[in-house]
Amino acid sequence: MKKKIILFTVIATALMVVSCGHDEPVDPNEITRVQDGNGKVFLENGTLVDANLDYSQEELEQALKQYEWEREYCFFYDNRNVSSRISELRYMPITIHTNGTIDITDEYPLRQREYTIKGKILTMSLIEDVWSSYYELPRDFVIVALDINENGGRMIMDTNLKGYEYKNYDPNTMNVRMIWKAKM
């Protein structure tokens, strides 16, 4: 009888230990993916690389006046996941010109919008076509990193895609990160 009581006590204790913890609901705003910082940014699949996160608005403006920029690739991320490269991303910039305009792809022929810079934020202008009642709202992009060297440079830029649905990514914390290359 003593053996049964001891065995029962051990089993009950084991069940209590196993069932404790992780009872709290998961906070969707908690960031569990790899993050930028200390001179590093994450790229596709969460790979960390060296990058200049500490640049000035003047350096950014100079880089945008000096070089044409082409989007090399992009990927999605939310607070938990980082995707691999995405081959096509519609309605987003593909070229940033030295004249203050950006080319955007969509189902129509190439569109061009103007942009402004404030701090580390690049804002594309509103597009409004009064004849067709078509419009595109201004969109903000955060320039996360800017690396300029003798071969040109790299720029890393994010924008929020709240409400966008992609695979198992959280539409409330969805972003796209674009990697840009300076054209010589």
Pairing, β 139-149 against β 152-160 = antiparallel
Cα dist from 70 to 4, 56, 64, 95, 122, whole Å: 73, 21, 11, 5, 15
pLDDT digits (tens, 9 = 90+) for 162-180: 998 888 999 999 999 999 9
Strands 68-77 and 40-42: unpaired
Pick the range with the lowest mean pLDDT from 23-27, 33-37, 79-83.
Answer: 23-27
Residue 83 in tokens:
């995707």
First to last CA, the chain: 85
pTM across the whole model: 0.81
Tell me how crowded residue 154 is: count the other CB atoms within 10 A of its CB: 20
Identify the residue whose tokens are 């919008």.
Answer: 113
Query: What is the 3-state secondary structure of 63-75?
Result: HHHHCEEEEEEEE
50-109 per-position pLDDT tens digit:
999 999 999 999 999 999 999 999 999 999 999 999 977 888 999 999 999 999 876 565
Give the three-class secondary structure for 176. Answer: strand
Per-residue pLDDT of 10-19, as tens digits, reads 455 555 544 4
